[in-house]
Amino acid sequence: MSGPSDFQPSNPALKWIERRLPIFGLIHSSFVAYPTPRNLNYWWTFGAILSMMLALQILTGVILAMHYTPHADLAFKSVELIVRDVNYGWLLRNMHAAGASMFFFAVYIHMFRGLYYGSYKEPREVLWILGVIIYLLMMATGFMGYVLPWGQMSFWGATVITNLFSAVPYFGESIVTLLWGGYSVGNPTLNRFFSLHYLLPFVIAGVVVLHIWALHVAGQNNPAGVEAKTEKDTVPFTPYATIKDAFGVACFLIFFAWFIFYMPNYLGDADNYIPANPGVTPAHIVPEWYYLPFYAILRSIPNKLAGVVAMFSAIIILCFLPWLDSARTRSSKYRPLAKQFFWIFVVVCIGLGYLGSQPPEGIYVIAGRILTVCYFAYFLIVLPLLARIETPRPVPNSIADDVLAKNKGRAATAASVVLALVLAGGLFAGSTQNAKAEEGGTTPPAQSWSFSGPFGKYDRGSLQRGLKVYKEVCSACHGLSYVAFRNLADAGGPGYSEAQAAAFASEYKIKDGPNDQGEMFERPGRPADYFPSPFPNEQAARAANGGAAPPDLSLITKARSYKRGFPQFVIDFFSQYQEQGPDYVDAILQGFEDKVPAGVTIPEGSYYNKYFPGHAIKMPKPLSDGQVTFDDGSPATVKQYAHDVTTFLMWAAEPHMEARKRIGMQVFVFLIIFAFLMYFTKRKVWADAH
Amino acid sequence: MTTASSADHPTRRDFLFVATGAAAAVGAAATVWPLVAQMNPDAATIAAGAPIQVDLTPIAEGQDIKVFWRGKPIYISHRTKKQIEEAQKVPLSSLPDPQPDSARVKSGHDQWLVVIGICTHLGCIPIAHEGNYDGFFCPCHGSQYDSSGRIRQGPAPANLAVPPYAFLSDTKIQIG
Ligand code: FES
């Protein structure tokens, strides 16, 4: 963007517009002719990746808002209905939810890149600060978005985060009440969060425009950290940067698709599949992974106000980075000490992230404090000091020299970047797997499930037998309220015909009404009806079951989990292990033992279960051998019942799993071919530039 | 810049560019599909649009009821002798949308008129037992329908639509 463009469209109609609104000239000078340093590496493609992610989040978000109901009583259900009933709703929701994580993943790489190559230094201070503002807005948006599904983590996350403001002296309580719109987190809170969650992405988009504007005024930094001086140092943005960015985007999409299609719940928390309950706090409140480092800083300071101040300072300090680091050399490539400290800092941040996910006790607290000190020391001591004592290596004379110097071994760089990204992605995402509240339970044994892995499918026979077990046993106490009878005939389900589903429905009595006389009445079920719940309301369920309401089973296999631990969760990322829930449910059903082991006391009205956290479960042993007879000759054993009913409940929780994995495979094949094409196209285009 | 040296290997180079462009176009089209398809009615809405059954016994001669099917009001009129006669007698040539009464009711059930109560002009709901033709009158822009639900006067272009329905017995119909 150097002065007014001399671009002139040749088409008369465009010429007519251009004279009145020089928009084509603006686009041409900003995205076509714009000179970009020729030595940019793939870390520079994350700007384009982030733009794409922002656009994708806005697009999928606007669509989800068409189907979502921002009401405390309906929000959770409306999200479930999006996933179950809306055409491709599961895809859109997975894209949006995983998209938030990918957005943060990309922004962290973008920020670390800026840190490493000194992209915040004069004359790019404003550019950098605008970036910090975007990051803050992203955090606010992500937090409010996480509240919208109105599950347990949504609710308690909202409670904990809004309570941060109660640390403000004098005005704390009033600020919190103002945020809530009530005496506690409730419907008004949800409504305003929805409104703001819709607004903020557009504010982000606005600041992004400023960010890009500032970028185009100062020019891009580059790995050598020397300014472009002559024509030889730069290439036009299009096609060179465009094609390279497009290749970067294609590779990033492969990583993204892994989550959308194969690991949609890997980054989420099982507790968020339990509807919000203002009366029960989950045992471990853990924010989304992208907040964990700051959460760890918050927790490592034993004073409330100081903790909150430290947490916010950890972000705000980034704004002062251009002045804290006054070294003249930009790129850490030529700063031997700064380079080492940079990598130590990266490890500190990942370490803080890991600690943020662990329970705040013992060694974790001490480690958290040490790393918090390291975090701030990097900015306040290390960087200012290095600027004074470090002797940098000589930087190249020009970008062109830099390119000449390292033209060997280029392809290897690209390959290693891709590999590093995949590994970093796995580790970073993996380090965020939360500690689940399953202390005191024995780890459930891993079962073999027909639906695991990239080609997994439900075993129809198992689904049909499981339905029988649910109907004859579980349904006496547990509802299945998100499953409709019509679903039994859906593709990827138990494989019944529509007539069979209708016949199955008609065996149920459904309450309907009021009729013309104003009375409720019972009628036979129809395919459109949902499985009726055994109790009219939660109080009745509680009263009939010794104080513990039997949970609805529609989502139980996704709402239960257990801690996988390190390094298992990293392996899980690559092996697509997603079956903690089914393993746990299956284990509970088989985990009842009459003989209570020595040292365990089971209170009156509870039963011993080997796999239940704390071992005392309120549910009596539900299944015994011979209780249900199968027509297909499958053994009438508890083991078989547990396996079948768990398979059925997995389908009930994830009815479109088969479509998800099938489409996922198609997308993968496509993306890999596309990435290869992009790579060769990029090479052809760049052949001119070298 | 891109074309500077393309003369060297025009075919191989062009093929690569075309293939990449085509793959991008296919990917974009495949991405747009679910983004648009989500606007169609969801599975719950479709399931809720299943056929409904209506008991006719409470409807006395000369009365009508309104029931809802797929969110649309359906008029079920128990027509009087006079209304039936009027409907049958009208010369077809005088109708804007000619249709004999027999085509609008089920044979043997002449007294029952079942029509979708949505004006064919712009979708308002006509009022029963009003207008000059012993049928329906639409208050929005003054369309008038006769006792067979046929358009007689006003801006509406067509007769009130007859929904798919069948008699399960003499006193019960299934709509849909
Ligand atoms: S809508 Fe009925 S007359 Fe216009």
Query: What pLDDT digit, counting tens, does each position of A645-670 carry?
Result: 999 999 999 999 999 999 999 999 99
What proportion of chain A, given as a percentage, has pLDDT over 90?
77
- Coil, helix or strand for B164? coil
Identify whether A206 is part of a domain: yes
Q: Whose CA is nearest to atom 3 of ligand 1?
A: B141
DSSP state of B156: -
The whole-angstrom separation of Cα A211 and Cα A119 is 13
- Please tell me the least confidently modeled range out of A207-221, A598-612, B136-150: A598-612
More confidently predicted of A530 and B11: A530
Q: Whose CA is nearest to atom 1 of ligand 1?
A: B122
Is A527 touching B (CB cutoff 8 A)? yes
Q: Whose CA is nearest to atom 4 of ligand 1?
A: B141
Residue B99 clears pLDDT 50, i.e. is over it? yes
The CA angle A43-A48-A52, to the nearest 5 degrees, is 130
Identify whether A222 is part of a domain: yes
Q: In the structure, what pLDDT confidence band is assigned to residue A79 with cuts at 50, 70 and 90?
A: very high
Tokens 């002798």 sit on residue: B81
Residues A625 and A673 reside in one and the same domain: no
Which residue from B minimizes the CA distance to A684?
B13
Q: Dihedral of the CA atoms A232, A233, A236, A239 (nearest 10)?
A: 100
Number of C-beta neighbours around residue A630 at 10 A: 16
Q: Mean pLDDT over all residues of chain A?
A: 91
Amino acid at A409: G
- Please tell me the least confidently modeled range out of A500-509, A589-598, B140-149: A589-598
Residues A373 and A465 reside in one and the same domain: no
Task: Please state whether A644 falls in left (phi above 0), alpha (psi between -120 and 50) or beta.
Answer: alpha
Task: Please state whether A218 falls in left (phi above 0), alpha (psi between -120 and 50) or beta.
Answer: alpha
Identify whether A307 is part of a domain: yes
Identify whether A411 is part of a domain: no
Residues A240 and A388 reside in one and the same domain: yes
Identify whether A314 is part of a domain: yes
**Would the CB atoms of A88 and B37 count as touching at under 8 Å?**
yes
List Cβ neighbours of A490 (8 Å cut-off, separation of 6 or more): A655, B43
Scanning A56-95 for CB atoms below 8 A from B yields 59, 63, 66-67, 81, 84-89, 91-92
Residues A429 and A569 reside in one and the same domain: no
Pick the atom of ligand 1 nearest to B156's CA: 3
The whole-angstrom separation of Cα B100 and Cα A59 is 51
Identify whether A152 is part of a domain: yes
Closest of A267, A272, A270, A275 to residue A291, by C-alpha: A267
What's the half-sphere exposure (Cβ side, CA atoms, 13 Å) at A18?
A: 17
> How do residues A41-63 score in pLDDT, each as one tens digit?
999 999 999 999 999 999 999 99
Predicted confidence at residue A429, as pLDDT, reads 57
Identify whether A23 is part of a domain: no
Pick the atom of ligand 1 nearest to B122's CA: 1
Task: Provide the whole-model pTM.
Answer: 0.91
- Contact between A688 and B34 (Cβ < 8 Å): no
Which residue from B minimizes the CA distance to A484?
B44
What proportion of chain A, given as a percentage, has pLDDT over 70?
94
The whole-angstrom separation of Cα A595 and Cα A658 is 41
Q: What is the ipTM of this complex?
A: 0.86
| CATH code for residues B47-175 | 2.102.10.10
Q: How far is CA A108 from the centre of its chain?
A: 14
Domain containing A103: what range? 34-394+416-434+665-687
Q: Dihedral of the CA atoms A170, A172, A177, A179 (nearest 10)?
A: 140
Residue A594 clears pLDDT 90, i.e. is over it? no
Q: In the structure, what pLDDT confidence band is assigned to residue A125 with cuts at 50, 70 and 90?
A: very high
Provide the number of structural domains found in chain A: 2
Residues A145 and A274 reside in one and the same domain: yes
Predicted confidence at residue A417, as pLDDT, reads 65
Q: Using the mean position of ligand 1's atoms as its centre, give its distance from the Cα of residue B42 in Å.
A: 30
β B52-55/B112-116 pair status: unpaired
Residue B3 clears pLDDT 50, i.e. is over it? no
Q: Dihedral of the CA atoms A145, A150, A151, A154 (nearest 10)?
A: 40
Pick the atom of ligand 1 nearest to B119's CA: 2
Residues A329 and A428 reside in one and the same domain: yes
Residue A406 clears pLDDT 90, i.e. is over it? no
Residues A472 and A541 reside in one and the same domain: yes
Predicted confidence at residue A418, as pLDDT, reads 65
Instruction: State how far residue B154 is from chain A, nearest Cα, in angstroms.
Output: 35
Closest of A557, A77, A542 to residue A275, by C-alpha: A77
Q: Using the mean position of ligand 1's atoms as its centre, give its distance from the Cα of residue B118 in Å.
A: 9
Which of A87, A96, A482, A667 to substitute to test the interface with B, most B CBs within 10 Å? A87
Tokens 């019960």 sit on residue: B172
Q: Cis check for the bond before A514: say yes or no (omega within 30 of 0).
A: yes
- Please tell me the least confidently modeled range out of A67-76, A134-143, A506-515, A681-690: A681-690
Residues A553 and A680 reside in one and the same domain: no
Residues A120 and A173 reside in one and the same domain: yes
Q: In the structure, what pLDDT confidence band is assigned to residue A437 with cuts at 50, 70 and 90?
A: very low
Q: In the structure, what pLDDT confidence band is assigned to residue A438 with cuts at 50, 70 and 90?
A: very low
Q: In the structure, what pLDDT confidence band is assigned to residue B10 with cuts at 50, 70 and 90?
A: low
Instruction: State how far residue A38 is from chain B, nearest Cα, in angstroms.
Output: 15
The CA angle A475-A476-A477, to the nearest 5 degrees, is 90
Residues A676 and A626 reside in one and the same domain: no
Is B28 touching A (CB cutoff 8 A)? no
Residue A644 clears pLDDT 70, i.e. is over it? yes
Residue A435 clears pLDDT 50, i.e. is over it? no
Query: Backbone phi, then psi, for A562, in 5-degree steps?
Result: -150, 160
Predicted confidence at residue A546, as pLDDT, reads 84
Q: Is residue B141 annotated as part of the catalytic site, yes or no? A: yes
Q: Cis check for the bond before B164: say yes or no (omega within 30 of 0).
A: no
Structure tokens at A283: 């045992």
> How do residues A338-377 score in pLDDT, each as one tens digit?
999 999 999 999 999 999 988 888 899 999 999 999 999 9
Give the CATH number, domain containing residue A263: 1.20.810.10
Residue B6 clears pLDDT 80, i.e. is over it? no
Residue A498 clears pLDDT 90, i.e. is over it? yes
Q: Pick the most confident of A160-174, A194-208, A389-403.
A: A194-208
**Structural domain boundaries of chain B?**
6-40, 47-175
Residues A680 and A579 reside in one and the same domain: no
- Contact between A261 and A670 (Cβ < 8 Å): no
Which residue from B minimizes the CA distance to A89?
B38
Identify whether A510 is part of a domain: no
Residues A40 and A171 reside in one and the same domain: yes
Give the CATH number, domain containing residue A589: 1.10.760.10
**Would the CB atoms of A680 and B16 count as touching at under 8 Å?**
yes
Predicted confidence at residue B8, as pLDDT, reads 52
Residue A140 clears pLDDT 70, i.e. is over it? yes
